[in-house]
Structures are given as structure tokens and as C-alpha cells.
């Protein structure tokens, strides 16, 4: 890409898109195109077609998606599959129609089967059933991978799919109903600390910035305590010691292990692939010596149809994981919360272990930089600001 190439970043306000925009701008790219959801509804086929006709982007980064944690995924199943399929279908197809030079499609490692061998390699895709709670979202993202592969094979496009692990960082979603586990824990434990310190000014400021079920800082303390308790932030009177005890309830046993990647590291990986790698590089990596040693000519566009090409997506992660219990304890220590963490085993755990195999990404020339403890400290500072 040239520094003045026209690059459309779909989903530029979200955790993923904002990090990619920041990375591109830091590297001197000056011709970035964005649209808010109000300006362009990506589920609207005609609107997307008109946008591509009028703007003619040379490169597309598809970071727009309907995302959420285990509660949101399991509750809004129809919304997750419909909206994500519609966004992908419209943007990927119009990128082909209008001759986009390269497209980067972002999914998630939740595409892998519930019982996938650990760490999860790209070849684990579609080998056994998915985790039920996020099946609609996962199916949509798998469809996006196969759409990119199919357009590359049939039309010779240069569409790359990347599957980041669990992300966290600036501009994350801290909505307690819809957020992922790490930002949810940061907010819940922070609010628990405020209750511990009887700091109602901080609690009300927090609610003014990010409402919980339409409850803001103008609500009464009783109303606030009621909604906080609903989301597992509990203040209870200890009769024996005549003091209040604060506890944070967390879904599940705390035993599941998860991998977390700093969003700005993810963005760096995405821009690295856009600048340095093409679909052909991924195919060459996939086929390996078995194809070239047979005396075949190097692969070029429109020659893929004679070769069984699959699982050409790329995992983006750290290759390291941590249990939810260990994560909660780490956040508790960083924030300085002194109350208790309570794990509700009546609630689902989800997949017990989700660790990505990042050997393909490493072989293409990229590795993460931010360790988890440092990243949480940075994210907490960002949240407070």
C-alpha cells in the first residue's frame, strides 16, 4: 500500500477498528475513509453498493461486526447471525465488484469447535461441533472466511481473513450486559472498589458515562445498588462485624482458560499483513512442500481451482492463556479491590480452554509485544480517564 492509498475501515469506532486506524495513522497513511453506522448501514445492500461506487476504496478493512460476550451471544442469537452475515455479504461482494486490491476480514477464534485440540490451529476449523452459546456468531464468521476463500479461488481476488483471540484495550465495550469478560471484570471490580470506599461521586460519574439499564448518576443510591446487584456487584451488611461487605459475582467456575491480546498489538499484526503479505503467501504456507516438490508452477491468481484450498485464515494471538479466576484476581490486585470474588457455578462456563496456535502468523513474520499485566494496567488507566 502507498501512504496515500484510499483505505476504507469499516467499524472504525470499535475496539478493533479504532486500534487499526490509530496504527495506520501512526505509519503515515493519510487517505482513510470512515462512515458511522448512522451514515452507512452495512446491512443495507443498496447503501453499501452506493458507497463503493462513489468512494472507490483501494483497500478495505472489515472490522465492523455485531459483537458481545457470552450473555449477549446467547440472548440475541438471531441478531448476531443476521447482522454479521449481512455486513460480510455486502462489503465482501462489493469489494470484488469494484476491484478492491486487498481486503482484510476480521473474525474471532470462537469459530473453532468446542472440543478443538489445544492450541487451536487453523486446521481445526469445521472438525466438530461449535460451542452452543456463541454458535450463531461463529457460523457467520466461518461463512465470512469461506466467502473470502471462495472469491479468491473463483475470481482471483486478494482477500485475507484473520481470527484474533479475545481482545482488550482502548475503546472497549464496558456495557455490563454486552461486554466481554475482561472489560466487564474491570468495570465490576472498579465499581466494587468505589462501593468499598463509599465513593458515590465516582459511581455516579461512571453511570453518567455508561448507563446500566437506563440508570444513570441521577438515580437514588437505592436504585443504583439494585441494578449493581443484578450484575453481580453486591453490598451486604455483616452483622457480626457491623460493617458492609462488597462482593463481585462472576459467571461460571472460574476454571475456563482464555487467551487475551492487546488490541493495539492486533492492529499492528493486521497492518503488517496488509503491507507485507498477500493471499498467495497464505496459500503457499498452507500447501507447503507437497505442492512445490511435485514440480508444479508457482501459484498465481485464477489457478487455485485445481488445488483443494481451505483453512487459509490466520490466527492472531499470543499463544498464552490464563484462567478466569486468575484473571479476576489479577484485575482485583491492579485495581486495589479488597472485597471477595464469588464464582456462580449455576451459570455456564462456555468452552473450558481456548488457546490459539499462532505458528502460522509467527512464520509470516509477526509476534505480539504487550504482556497481559501491563495491558490491563494500561486499559484501567484508559477507563479511568
Q: Can you tell me the distance from the alpha carbon of 56 to that of 89, in angstroms, rounded to the nearest whole number?
A: 18
| Catalytic annotation present for 137 | yes
Strand ranges inside the chain, DSSP E: 7-10, 32-33, 59-62, 102-106, 159-164, 166-168, 233-238, 243-251, 257-258, 260-262, 314-316, 322-323, 340-344, 353-354
Question: For 4, how many CA atoms within 13 A lie in the half-sphere containing its CB?
Answer: 0
Question: For 226, how many CA atoms within 13 A lie in the half-sphere containing its CB?
Answer: 9
**Which of the residues 8, 29, 59, 137 is marked catalytic?**
137
Residues 330 and 376 sit within 8 Å (Cβ to Cβ): yes
- Beta-carbon count within 10 A of 187 CB: 23
How are beta strands 233-238 and 314-316 bridged, if at all?
A: unpaired
Q: Which residues of 130-156 are buried (b: 16+ CB within 10 A; e: fewer)?
A: bbebbbbbbbbbbbbbbbbbebbbeee
Q: Give the torsion sign (CA, 73, 75, 77, 82).
A: negative
Residues whose CB is less than 8 angstroms from the CB of residue 235 and which lie 6 or more positions away in sequence, other chains included: 195, 225, 228, 229, 244, 245, 246
Here the cell at position 80 is 448476531
Residues recognised as catalytic:
137
Amino acid at each position: 500500500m502507498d501512504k496515500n492509498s484510499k483505505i476504507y475501515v469499516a467499524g472504525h469506532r470499535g475496539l478493533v477498528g479504532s486500534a487499526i486506524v490509530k496504527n495506520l495513522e501512526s505509519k503515515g497513511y493519510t487517505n482513510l475513509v470512515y462512515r458511522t453506522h448512522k451514515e452507512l448501514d452495512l446491512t443495507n445492500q443498496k447503501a453499501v453498493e452506493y458507497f463503493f461506487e462513489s468512494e472507490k476504496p483501494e483497500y478495505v478493512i472489515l472490522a465492523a461486526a455485531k459483537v458481545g460476550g457470552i450473555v449477549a451471544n446467547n440472548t440475541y442469537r438471531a441478531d448476531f447471525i443476521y447482522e454479521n452475515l449481512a455486513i460480510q455479504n455486502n462489503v465482501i461482494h462489493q469489494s470484488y465488484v469494484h476491484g478492491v486490491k486487498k481486503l482484510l476480514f476480521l473474525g474471532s477464534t470462537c469459530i473453532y469447535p468446542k472440543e478443538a485440540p489445544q492450541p487451536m490451529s487453523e486446521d481445526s476449523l469445521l472438525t466438530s461441533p461449535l460451542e452452543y452459546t456463541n454458535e450463531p456468531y461463529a457460523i457467520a464468521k466461518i461463512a465470512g472466511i469461506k466467502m473470502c476463500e471462495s472469491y479468491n479461488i473463483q475470481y482471483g481476488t486478494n482477500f485475507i481473513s484473520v481470527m484474533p483471540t479475545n481482545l482488550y484495550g482502548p475503546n472497549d465495550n464496558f456495557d455490563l450486559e454486552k461486554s466481554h469478560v475482561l472489560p466487564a471484570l474491570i468495570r465490576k471490580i472498579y465499581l466494587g472498589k468505589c462501593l468499598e470506599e463509599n465513593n458515590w461521586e465516582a459511581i455516579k460519574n461512571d453511570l453518567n458515562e455508561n448507563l446500566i439499564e437506563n440508570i444513570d448518576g441521577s438515580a437514588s443510591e437505592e436504585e443504583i445498588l439494585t441494578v449493581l446487584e443484578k450484575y453481580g456487584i453486591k453490598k451486604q451488611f455483616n452483622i457480626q462485624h457491623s460493617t458492609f461487605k462488597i462482593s463481585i459475582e462472576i459467571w461460571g467456575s472460574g476454571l475456563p482458560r482464555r487467551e487475551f491480546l492487546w488490541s493495539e498489538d492486533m492492529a499492528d499484526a493486521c497492518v503488517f499483513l496488509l503491507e507485507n503479505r498477500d493471499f498467495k503467501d497464505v496459500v503457499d504456507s498452507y500447501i507447503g512442500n507437497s505442492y512445490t516438490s511435485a514440480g508444479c508452477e508457482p501459484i498465481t491468481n485464477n489457478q487455485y481451482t485445481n488445488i483443494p484450498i481451505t483453512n487459509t485464515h490466520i490466527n492472531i494471538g499470543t499463544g498464552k492463556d490464563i484462567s478466569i479466576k486468575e484473571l479476576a484476581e489479577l484485575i482485583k490486585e491492579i485495581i486495589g479491590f479488597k472485597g471477595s470474588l464469588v464464582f456462580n457455578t449455576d451459570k455456564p462456563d462456555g468452552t473450558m480452554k481456548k488457546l490459539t496456535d499462532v505458528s502460522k502468523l509467527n512464520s509470516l513474520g509477526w509476534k505480539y509485544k504487550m504482556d497481559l499485566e501491563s495491558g490491563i494496567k494500561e486499559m484501567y488507566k484508559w477507563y479511568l480517564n
